[in-house]
């Protein structure tokens, strides 16, 4: 069958976006893996799918699949691209868009055509929220990885994150420690891993090794988790500029029991069609 799609990115975190409201398809994990291939397919970090909502109070259902074919709970950079996509495709004319995800509801605010603010909801810090094996909530948890002990903070932004503070992200062991923590047995469902360098209370640098995708140029939920953990530890003060390899996001969080917001760009690259085997 013929499938129409749009390629988009948020700070280099790239997506294949598919409208399954005006067309019908069911993509298997094997097809998603093939489409995500950088040389043999379209190439992307995540597949984003637009569907009719299950909840009548929502505007859309927003589904996210990693390059490995597994569905995940949330993607912040994808949420901004999702908002631009549904307006570009004239699926809605709203500037405030309510979507349901596997990680909970999100509110997307279209400030300009390429600048989107997302209400990401409240960060959660309990071990249960990230399916982490620990006896209690702590600011830092000791985690043994590759024979070394690292102090990590944990947070859920609808999906699980571990955050490590490093002296310099350029020399951080992202390629070795990232996958070891991602699949660490204490994280029952795997975890996204952020490496955070604090430049000032309102400026950090960040690299993220994403669960199921590897290191990406940007991770919106990773930026949110890093800022929330940093504010909670007294290292940061809202709003915080998060400098990622692909560009910059602005994260604001008033504090405990309050929703966190993320502001950044969403870019359309091209549209096309492909025949699914």
Q: Do 196 and 166 form a contact (C-beta atoms < 8 A)?
A: yes
Q: Do 125 and 154 form a contact (C-beta atoms < 8 A)?
A: yes
Dihedral of CA atoms 124, 236, 220, 144 in degrees, nearest 10, equals -60
How large is the C-alpha radius of gyration of the chain? 18
Active-site residue (options: 75, 81, 224, 229): 75
Active-site residue (options: 81, 219, 224, 229): 219
Note if 75 is an active site residue. yes
Q: Do 71 and 29 form a contact (C-beta atoms < 8 A)?
A: no
What is the DSSP-derived secondary structure letter of residue 187?
B
For 163, residues 6+ apart whose C-beta sits below 8 A from its C-beta are 152, 153, 154, 155, 193, 194, 196, 225, 226, 229, 230
Question: Which residues are identified as catalytic?
Answer: 75, 219
């Amino acid at each position: 069958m013929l499938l129409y799609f749009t390629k988009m990115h948020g700070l280099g975190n790239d997506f294949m976006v598919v409208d399954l409201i005006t067309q019908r398809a069911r993509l298997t994990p094997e097809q998603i893996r093939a489409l995500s291939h950088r040389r043999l397919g379209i190439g992307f970090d995540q597949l984003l799918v637009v569907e009719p909502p299950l909840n009548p109070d929502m505007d859309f259902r927003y589904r996210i699949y990693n390059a490995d074919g597994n569905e995940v709970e949330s993607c912040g950079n994808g949420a901004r691209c999702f908002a631009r996509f549904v307006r570009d495709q004239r699926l809605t004319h709203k500037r405030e868009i309510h979507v349901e995800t596997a990680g909970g509801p999100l509110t997307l605010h279209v400030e300009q055509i390429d600048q989107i603010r997302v209400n990401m909801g409240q960060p959660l810090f309990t071990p249960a929220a990230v399916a982490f094996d620990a006896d209690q909530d702590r600011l830092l948890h000791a985690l043994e990885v590759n024979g070394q002990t690292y102090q990590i903070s944990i947070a859920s932004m609808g999906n699980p994150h571990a955050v490590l503070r490093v002296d310099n992200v350029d020399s951080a062991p992202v390629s070795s420690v990232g996958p070891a923590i991602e699949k660490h047995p204490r994280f029952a469902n795997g975890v996204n891993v952020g490496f955070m360098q604090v430049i000032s209370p309102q400026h950090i640098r960040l690299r993220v090794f994403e669960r199921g995708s590897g290191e990406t140029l940007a991770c919106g939920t990773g930026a949110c988790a890093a800022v929330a953990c940093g504010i909670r530890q007294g290292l940061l003060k809202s709003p915080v500029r998060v400098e990622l390899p692909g560009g910059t996001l602005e994260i604001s969080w008033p504090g405990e029991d309050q929703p966190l917001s993320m502001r950044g760009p969403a870019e359309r690259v091209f549209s096309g069609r492909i025949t699914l085997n």
